[in-house]
Amino acid sequence: MKWLQIPLGPMQTNCYLLFNSKKECIVFDPGEQGQELNTYLKKEGYQPLAILLTHAHFDHIGAIDVVREQWNIPVYVHEMEAEWLTNPLLNGSKRFGTEITIKPADQLIHEEGELKIGNFSFELFHTPGHSPGSISYYVKESAIVFAGDTLFASSIGRTDLTGGSYSELMESIHTKLLVLPDHTHVLSGHGPMTTVIKEKNENPFLK
């Protein structure tokens, strides 16, 4: 499996594609610029199978309906944030002067464990703190984890939004992410890729 980072929108939210040799792909967090993303997917010959959300803040969900309708694919979100897609107060968009609403998810994630979509397989970790339904998706064979806004290069997710909790965030980072193999690449919701060992050694918030 290979992956591609595509920053989208004014907040440069990282949308990721995880794809195989057939160019079947999983789309993570299509936050903005849905038409542009669809154009790129068509041009490059990708075939999306599903949209997976690390969490449902507005900057991660804005392009969902445009992409979902173009490819007729399901959207997955943690059950704790099912209502966030349709509620601007919960997804935070109203706080920032707009009201973003998305159609309900097609699939709700209820628990940790394995998720299979086509020939893609993920281990799901519930990693609350930045938001109550934050999920990290680990792909062992590719040594990557899609961590959303839980952990960044030399930083951590903010905890001052709805349902945020600093203590939960730190527990999630230490018990779910930093226990992964040191060489694991951490693909964050904003900014550059990092690795588990780099964050262990250099992240000032984890000292």
Would you say residue 207 has pLDDT above 90? no
pTM: 0.96
148: Cβ contacts below 8 Å, ≥ 6 apart: 29, 54, 55, 60, 127, 130, 134, 135, 136, 157, 188, 189
> Which pLDDT score is estimated for 10?
82
pLDDT digits (tens, 9 = 90+) for 48-78: 999 999 999 999 999 999 999 999 999 999 9
> Which pLDDT score is estimated for 127?
98
- Specify the DSSP element, H or E, that contains 202: helix 196-202
Q: From 190, 176, 189, select the one nearest 138 (Cα to Cα).
A: 176
Q: From 66, 57, 52, select the one nearest 3 (Cα to Cα).
A: 52
* Mean pLDDT, range 34-48, rounded to an integer: 97
pLDDT digits (tens, 9 = 90+) for 22-35: 999 999 999 999 99
> Which pLDDT score is estimated for 95?
86
Name the β-bridge partners of 113.
124
User: Higher confidence at residue 10 or residue 50?
Assistant: 50
Q: From 155, 147, 193, 190, select the one nearest 172 (Cα to Cα).
A: 147
pLDDT digits (tens, 9 = 90+) for 155-168: 999 999 999 999 99
Averaged pLDDT of the chain = 96
> Which pLDDT score is estimated for 192?
97
